Structure 1
Amino acid sequence: MTLRPVALAAALIAASIPLAAPALAQDAIDRKVDALLKQMTLQEKVGQLHQLSGAEATGPEAAKRASQNTEIRAGNVGSMLNIKGAKDTREAQALALQSRLKIPLLFGLDVIHGYKTVFPVPIGEAASWDLEAIEQSAQVAAREAAAAGIHWTFAPMVDIGRDPRWGRVMEGAGEDTYLGSKIAAARVRGFQGPKLGATDRVMATAKHFAAYGAAVAGRDYNAVDMSLQQLYEVYLPPFKASVDAGVATFMNSFNTLNGVPATGSAFLQRDILKGAWKYKGFVVSDWASVKEMVLHGYAKDLPDAAVKAINAGSDMDMEGEAYIAHLAQAVKDGRVAQKHVDDAVRRILRKKFEMGLFDDPYRFSDAQREQAVLADPRHRAIARDVARKSLVLLKNDKLNGNAILPLAKNAKSIAVIGPLADSRRDLEGGWVVSDVRGEVVSILDGIRNHAQGAQISHAAACAPGCATAEGFDAAVAAAGKADVIVLAVGETWDMSGEAKSRTDIGLPGQQTELFRRLKATGKPVVAVLFAGRPMIFNEIADNADAILYAWFPGSEGGNAVADVLFGDYNPSAKLPATFPRNLGQIPISYAQYNTGRPVTSEKDIVYRSAYIDSPNTPRYAFGHGKSYTEFGYSGVQLDRTILRPGQTATLSFELQNKGKVAGTEIAQLYIRDTVASVVRPVKELKGFTKVHLQPGERRRVTFTIDRDTLSFFNGDLKWGAEPGEFKLMVGSASDDIRLETTLHLQ
């Protein structure tokens, strides 16, 4: 295919137009929902709140499958997860249509970063800072999943993550609230489209509500304890952005928040989500999180857990068996108000009507469309484009006056070394859900596809994980005969994601020793690092000649990496999360608060807020990322220095490509409120823009600043701006500020 990615996206959007559900006004849907509710028994209502996971039709799960089928026919199941494929979803839906009221099932699945076509893991996509590309990725994932009979994905995860020990940083957009909010909305738009019901889109889920990214010690499923000001300012905004983007559902989190499990938190679900935010979608528990409130010590038993969850506003019980077993009796006993059950059922039925399932329950389960969509080559082209936009060039030293990268295509010999050089599964990362995935392009494949006549040698040196050094000698021998070494190392696919928290986020096994021995050959070493989180790799950071951080780049990862290594694509990605120097700095973020004793110089740390064995500064700062060209910032201007009520201010500056190749810069706007009623961060991202420039080209770039840009949650949790002085900073990274000016708010 030769279409550009933008053209591909336009073609996919155009293809979705005739696939929309029959248009019904919201009031018409509400009337249908109310009419159906009046026909439902209490048990049938409770059935709509019950979600179960599909079981295999053969083997030891066969008995469970038979029991599930009986429950579905009885109308005791409202939704299923982990059923996929047009054939299987059609069969399950047929069972639901044997129930008295013939209410169709919703089919959900964890489509986190692609279905058949695997895209970069979400934190990798976030490194692109490209909202259009991220939306395209979600759109393709939705198109493939919907063709496989899926109505609903449990994504996007919009948790802010500032502790890279937490494995689930892989699934989010990094550490920053502003960037995370923009990406949350983009992914919701990509998954859902302009209106629910198109058969090439799916319902999205904003998860995990709330503050899961702040789990104590970076340990999955652990408690969270924070101030309300921190909750409102840092962790809630991406969820609010999801609501504003029209997200269909929410998923609550496993953690406690200030001592209360999120599943049982009326403060989160009723006061904030359904109250202050007026949210009309429904809330699904995370896997068995209703039942787990017993283990938390918050509910005395399963019936008590069911009561506390529904009263708190958790509408659907995922694989907890609490609602289906105990909720009807709790209503009869007066422990749960009928209105709470009716409200939850109404929210779920409304989505089923909006998806068009009452008009045609099988409209997503079309085997012919499934076959055609999953074979669409346009998806691979988009995946390659998104992947290369996600690759962060961390370092690019010069040798004999020339940068190491890009590699010359006519290089005589290239040694491709490392346990991940010819790995395919590891390039996909976790949460890969389709059984019919396409072929993954390895790094070795990609380099062979790009190099023109070069002799390509390959040595794995060790298996993924690199537990032993058994193959190091052969790898060093191969490297010694090459002009340049490309070293592919990092985490394996199963070392980050859910339940993959780590106390050591360095390179696994003996990979650092492998680098050390390759570096000793005297040949230039280009390190390509794979991971689902920020890692610590100080020796490589200090001594590698060039470093490309590839995350887990997906199906087209090898081609994307080679595009960058050989200069077919000039890297533009920026880090969405801070990379620490060592574990002792964690949790870490650029948006830190100042103290009464800040470090003003690394030489003056006595009685300062400092470490005695390490600088405060990170290894790589939020927003960092290099290019094959250089960009100059100059001529900052404000059209007004005093901002009065109702006004906006325009900050402008000149951006110039000072190099010899075309490139894209992501210019970033930060602010600092110098004096406020609560202490403000030393920097807050408040804007960014991607600018593509030809060599020597100059362009005037603008940011618009209004009162909302300068607002925050005060000590009373009221949103607003306070009069005073604001420092405005523009730069290439949070630690690479090029221009500053001052704005006064009246």
Structure 2
Amino acid sequence: MTLDRRDLLIRTLGGVLALGIPRRALAQADVARVDDLIAKMTLEEKAGQMTCLADSFRPFNPPNPAAGIQDEKRLADEIRKGRVGCLFNGIGVAGARRAQEMAVKNSRLGIPLLLAGDVIHGLKTIFPVTLGEASCFDPMLVEKTARVMAVEATAAGLHLTFAPMVDVARDQRWGRVVEGAGEDVYLTGLLSAARIRGFQGRDLRRDDSLLACPKHFAAYGAVAAGLEYGSVDISDETLRETHLPPFGKAFAAGALTTMAAFNEINGVPATADRELLTDILRGEMQFRGFVFSDYTADEELVAHGFAEDERDAARLAVLAGVDMSMQSGLYIRHIPDLVKSGAVPMATVDVAVRRILYVKTAMGLFDNPYRSLDEEVEKARIGTPAHHALAREAAARSVVLLKNDGVLPLDPAAGQKIALIGPFGEDKANLYGPWAFYGDPDKGIDIATGLRAAMPDPAKLTVELGCAVNGPIKDGIARAVAAAKAADVVILAVGESQAMSGEAQSRTMIELPSSQQALADAIAATGKPVIVLLRHGRALALHDGVANAQALLATWFLGSETGHALADILFGKVDPSAKLPVSFPWESGQEPFFYDRKSTGRPTVDNGSTEYKARYATTDNSARFPFGHGLSYTDFALSDLKLSDTALRWDGAVEITVRLTNKGKRKGSEVVQLYIRDRVASRTRPIRELKRIQRVTLSPGDSTQVRFTLSRTDLEFVGAGNRRIAEPGLFDLWVGQSSTGGLHGQFTLYAAVPTSPPPKG
């Protein structure tokens, strides 16, 4: 058996330096303990540490597909034999403690289990879906909500969450857009790192530290036509420039696990892609934790047509760099024989097991296998009033005011008759959104409940369904129109059900169902002021009675405090300050659409000729509502853009300042956004790229100077040979309130030595 250079390095250094686990997290005694365990382990026990199975000891989310689920008796037997390293998606301390006792007291080596789960945007206290919360453009708020999620998840007996999803989503037809932070590379990285800091806290050994698992590595957000589990065909430059940087931010924030993607990249499924999982992930990106497969993804290599059978699939996955197999059971069934036959080197298995054991050690599981398994803590830390207060704040700060013709905010003292119309007015089943299966829907606050609680006279609220989510109801529109005519203002609650977003929920038309569009058009025809509350997990193409409403709000799936948060926004208790993390197209057929697209040789210029230009016959290339857009109840203005120098030296920096003024009559917050464009480069560059954001809160009449700093590294891109480079030359710069418009400036990047910039190319 031969060892490659990396295997020798790992063995020589005992794994600590090679795997990158901080020395402060692992004492020499920890290293010695792991070495001793690996020396004692049988091949079957090693394969067991590399196996993650569904938890049958606790209330469990039914998976889809329901593959390989074992009953409690059989799973207990597997644990006692040392054939399981991780359980996932069960919650509850009592069951977890039973399972951990079996591993620690009844297995031969007593190696503790890692207990994992999908806590994506909340356990019992449900926060806005990740895409919705990304609208806050505020890493501090994201870190706070993640910390609460960690406190609740660990109180319920979990050690790890399969989050955050850091895939950059460029096609709104893809159902999993809802799980990430949207279409922008910079914002996704910024918020993903904040979420990891919140999950993990400052000390992995604390009982409320929840290990993060950024996913899906890599480029899942680039699946062709937005089709779930689909193929990805992209250049190396696009992979490294768009889809890998957020993972780099996540790893820099301390993530010690990641998950391989379901998709293939350029013909190779990620789960079997050694170049991706070893050369790029561990080589270029210096990731030193361990890699999960996604749910049965190793087994699915057969359906991909990449593996001959399950045994071959296990071989390909482990050689590629997948350390832990999820749910398929392939590793425990086939790795022992693969090693004995010489198809998989023992050293490869030892490296994977060492990575897993080091992470368990860094979490303190060997010293305290019952950490996060305290029933008194479970009773005290879940669903507290403080957690719900933060959920209400996060929900309100996630609402994007897309349009307002002066109808908002409503005055609760005015005594207006309000008609709440639409399938989501009194709906509790669709408050949370996808991936919130631990929450109790009955405890969520629906829109009607929230409005009534905020109204001096709740009797002035009339509620009508109008239609179902996906179809008409008898006399529904007639009753809704009558209610609208009798009211002073209409609140129309329409959009997607939570089953229309999430995994395996790709859509060809990202529009409202026809029944809801018919309802909206009928209400618009009454002539009454209409406020539309959109419920959704992606950007939508909006039409007629929805698009032309007097006020329009993107409300996503807001979680436990939905109704209270929306009342806070509608009645002006909270000033809307969120911004769109995704572009809303005019038509579904514009997808994939994203603001940082490239120009063409025949671009369409504003107000210019469109003949023989890059455009669709039915619409132009703009967004109805662009990335970064979001209004307030007050009026912010930017002025006095200044650059410290129009020349950026190679190792220097340029400071950009701008004055932000609140010209309105209310206190509010604005997100000031800085974009750049490289005018001429050896690779064509996007028309704009977000590089900085800053959230500022001002009282009426106040103003402040906002400062940003850019250096050469902010101008880098992936050039020839997959090297990150910056090229001297002219750059455009905009400081604005969205990805369109803004105050414009220019600067020139100068080379390291010459006194004037050489020509590019």
TM-score by length of 2: 0.92
> What does residue 290 of structure 1 align with?
298
Q: Do residues 115 (structure 1) and 150 (structure 2) align? A: no
Give secondary structure in 1 for the equivalent of 2:722: coil
Q: Where in structure 2 are the equivalents of 1:235-634 lying within 5 Å?
A: 235-398=243-406, 403-434=407-438, 439-453=443-457, 455-468=460-473, 470-634=475-639
Q: Unmatched 5+ residue regions in structure 1?
A: 1-21
Structure 1: distance between partners of 2:717 and 2:444: 45
Which amino acid counterpart does residue 333 of structure 1 have in structure 2? S
Structure 2: distance between partners of 1:170 and 1:412: 35
Change (3 A) 1:469 1:515: farther
Structure 1: distance between partners of 2:212 and 2:475: 47
* Equivalent residue in structure 2 for 1:643, among 644, 648, 652: 648
Structure 2: distance between partners of 1:397 and 1:194: 46
Aligned residues: 721
Deviation of residue 408 (structure 1)?
Answer: 4.4
Deviation of residue 614 (structure 1)?
Answer: 1.0
Give secondary structure in 2 for the equivalent of 1:91: helix
> What does residue 52 of structure 2 align with?
51
Structure 2: distance between partners of 1:602 and 1:305: 56
Q: Is the 8 A contact 2:218 2:270 kept in 1?
A: yes
Q: Is the 8 A contact 1:605 1:612 kept in 2?
A: no
Deviation of residue 156 (structure 1)?
Answer: 0.3
Structure 1: distance between partners of 2:240 and 2:278: 16
Q: Is the 8 A contact 2:131 2:178 kept in 1?
A: yes
Q: Deviations over 1:706-739 (max 9, x none)?
A: 1111111112211121110111111000113234
| Residues 610-619 or 487-496, more deviating | 610-619
* Equivalent residue in structure 2 for 1:64, among 57, 71, 83: 71
Q: Unmatched 5+ residue regions in structure 2?
A: 1-22, 61-65, 752-761
* Equivalent residue in structure 2 for 1:653, among 654, 658, 663: 658
Q: Is the 8 A contact 1:492 1:531 kept in 2?
A: yes
Structure 2: distance between partners of 1:441 and 1:64: 36
Structure 1: distance between partners of 2:159 and 2:24: 17
Q: Do residues 149 (structure 1) and 154 (structure 2) align? A: no
Q: Is the 8 A contact 1:664 1:693 kept in 2?
A: yes
What is the CA RMSD across the aligned residues, in angstroms?
Answer: 1.8
Q: Deviations over 1:59-104 (max 9, x none)?
A: 9999732211111110000001122100111111122121000101
Structure 1: distance between partners of 2:259 and 2:192: 14
Structure 1: distance between partners of 2:606 and 2:733: 22
Deviation of residue 168 (structure 1)?
Answer: 0.2
Give secondary structure in 2 for the equivalent of 1:636: strand
Change (3 A) 1:192 1:624: same
Which amino acid counterpart does residue 230 of structure 2 have in structure 1? N
Which amino acid counterpart does residue 84 of structure 1 have in structure 2? I
Which amino acid counterpart does residue 101 of structure 2 have in structure 1? A
Structure 1: distance between partners of 2:439 and 2:630: 35
Structure 2: distance between partners of 1:590 and 1:360: 49
TM-score by length of 1: 0.94
Which amino acid counterpart does residue 423 of structure 2 have in structure 1? P
Structure 1: distance between partners of 2:440 and 2:187: 33
Give secondary structure in 2 for the equivalent of 1:736: coil
* Equivalent residue in structure 2 for 1:699, among 697, 704, 707: 704
| Residues 408-417 or 683-692, more deviating | 408-417
Structure 2: distance between partners of 1:26 and 1:481: 73
Q: Do residues 665 (structure 1) and 658 (structure 2) align? A: no
Deviation of residue 267 (structure 1)?
Answer: 1.0
Give secondary structure in 1 for the equivalent of 2:258: strand
Structure 1: distance between partners of 2:575 and 2:738: 18
Structure 2: distance between partners of 1:604 and 1:529: 35
Q: Is the 8 A contact 2:520 2:546 kept in 1?
A: no
Q: Is the 8 A contact 1:117 1:438 kept in 2?
A: no
| Residues 50-59 or 508-517, more deviating | 50-59
Structure 2: distance between partners of 1:24 and 1:134: 26
Q: Deviations over 1:406-463 (max 9, x none)?
A: 4444233111111101111211101113265671111111111112236111111123
Structure 2: distance between partners of 1:379 and 1:204: 20
Which amino acid counterpart does residue 346 of structure 2 have in structure 1? Q
> What does residue 718 of structure 2 align with?
713
Deviation of residue 513 (structure 1)?
Answer: 1.1
Q: Where in structure 2 are the equivalents of 1:1-12 lying within 5 Å?
A: none
Structure 2: distance between partners of 1:744 and 1:469: 66
Structure 1: distance between partners of 2:491 and 2:741: 28
Q: Where in structure 2 are the equivalents of 1:182-201 lying within 5 Å?
A: 182-201=190-209
Which amino acid counterpart does residue 734 of structure 1 have in structure 2? S
> What does residue 730 of structure 1 align with?
735
Which amino acid counterpart does residue 154 of structure 1 have in structure 2? F
Structure 1: distance between partners of 2:543 and 2:411: 24
* Equivalent residue in structure 2 for 1:162, among 170, 176, 179: 170
Structure 2: distance between partners of 1:95 and 1:509: 54
Q: Is the 8 A contact 1:469 1:510 kept in 2?
A: no
Q: Is the 8 A contact 2:215 2:260 kept in 1?
A: yes
Structure 1: distance between partners of 2:628 and 2:223: 24
Deviation of residue 24 (structure 1)?
Answer: 4.8
Change (3 A) 1:188 1:196: same
Deviation of residue 336 (structure 1)?
Answer: 0.7
| Residues 431-440 or 488-497, more deviating | 431-440
